[in-house]
């Protein structure tokens, strides 16, 4: 049985349900579990005991790391990436989100979906939605970024969209060097090939990442793939 969304999002749904309906948290969890086809939350939790969250993933990342987050649309890769940034900000670090897919309203809505108030992180969160996003643009915007800053690039393939930019391999190489030197954590959201068949494989893998041009994926240190409510995390480089 597959979950409709990752378990960390189900937990947030339960908190919202508990708060809005004035019911005990354990009852809200059971209701959410029943919507997913389980009689009780304890049964769901035991089935997905190894589920990862933004918090646990943050503990697996170190300054200088490049993380690849891949999934088909609607699997929660952007929310998971933002949760990693939120956990870093809670520890006093900064974060930045570079995207051509999202606007500021979308970002605020995503924070709300994660049961977080974006205003709480004022001064620690920066959003960039410029058409000029590429490795050099990102590096220029992060000139003053401090050690431990989490940088989300939504998405990997957008770096390759303009002919005047260096090729994708060079750009990721530039960003890797920059992250190492400045001790930043870079999270690249990646598209997965449309022909990925979730019924044949539990998770997509590096071979399923859609690449318009060649890229050595071992430039990344770690990878995280999502599929039908479950998350797989592994070292790469």
Instruction: Give the contacts of 42 (CB within 8 A, at least 6 positions apart).
Output: none
Domain spans of the chain, in order of start: 7-47, 54-235
Q: Give 165-169's long-range contacts (Cβ < 8 A, gap of 24+).
A: 165/134, 165/135, 166/134, 166/135, 167/213, 167/214, 168/211, 168/212, 168/213, 168/214, 168/215, 169/213, 169/214, 169/215, 169/216, 169/219
Strands 95-99 and 230-235, sheet pairing: unpaired
Residue bearing the bigger pLDDT, 53 or 141: 141
Residue bearing the bigger pLDDT, 200 or 223: 223
The pTM for the full model equals 0.83
Q: What is the 8-class DSSP label of residue 224? A: E
CATH topology for the 54-235 domain: Rossmann fold (3.40.50)
pLDDT at 49 exceeding the cut of 70? no
pLDDT, tens only, 136-175: 999 999 999 999 999 999 999 999 888 888 999 999 999 9
Residue bearing the bigger pLDDT, 115 or 216: 216
> Which pLDDT belongs to residue 172?
98
Distance CA 230, CA 50 (A): 9
The mean pLDDT of 27-56, rounded to a whole number, is 81
Which stretches of 142-230 are DSSP H helices? 168-182
Among 136-145, 164-173, 192-201, 204-213, the least confident range: 192-201
> Which pLDDT belongs to residue 230?
77
Distance CA 118, CA 233 (A): 27
Q: How confident is the model at residue 218 (pLDDT cuts 50, 70, 90)?
A: very high
Residue bearing the bigger pLDDT, 55 or 13: 13
> Which pLDDT belongs to residue 224?
94
Strands 222-227 and 95-99, sheet pairing: unpaired
């Amino acid at each position: 049985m597959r979950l409709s969304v990752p378990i960390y999002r189900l937990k947030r749904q339960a908190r919202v349900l508990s708060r809005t309906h004035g019911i005990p948290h354990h009852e809200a969890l059971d209701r959410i579990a029943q919507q997913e086809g389980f009689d009780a939350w304890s049964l769901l939790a035991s089935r997905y005991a190894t589920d990862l969250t933004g918090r646990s993933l943050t503990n697996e990342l170190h300054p200088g790391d490049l993380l690849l987050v891949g999934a088909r649309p609607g699997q929660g890769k952007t929310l998971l990436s933002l949760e990693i940034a939120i956990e870093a900000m809670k520890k006093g670090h900064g974060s930045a989100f570079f995207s051509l897919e999202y606007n500021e309203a979308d970002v605020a809505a995503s924070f709300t979906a994660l049961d977080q108030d974006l205003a709480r992180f004022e001064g620690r969160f920066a959003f960039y939605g410029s058409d000029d996003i590429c490795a050099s643009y990102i590096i220029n915007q992060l000139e003053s970024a401090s050690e431990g800053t989490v940088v989300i690039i939504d998405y990997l393939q957008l770096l390759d969209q303009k002919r005047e930019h260096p090729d994708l391999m060079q750009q990721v190489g530039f960003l890797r060097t920059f992250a190492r030197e400045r001790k930043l954590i870079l999270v690249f959201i990646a598209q997965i090939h449309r022909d990925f068949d979730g019924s044949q494989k539990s998770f997509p893998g590096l071979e399923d990442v859609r690449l318009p041009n060649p890229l050595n994926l071992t430039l990344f240190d770690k990878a995280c793939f999502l599929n039908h409510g479950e998350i797989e995390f592994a070292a790469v480089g």
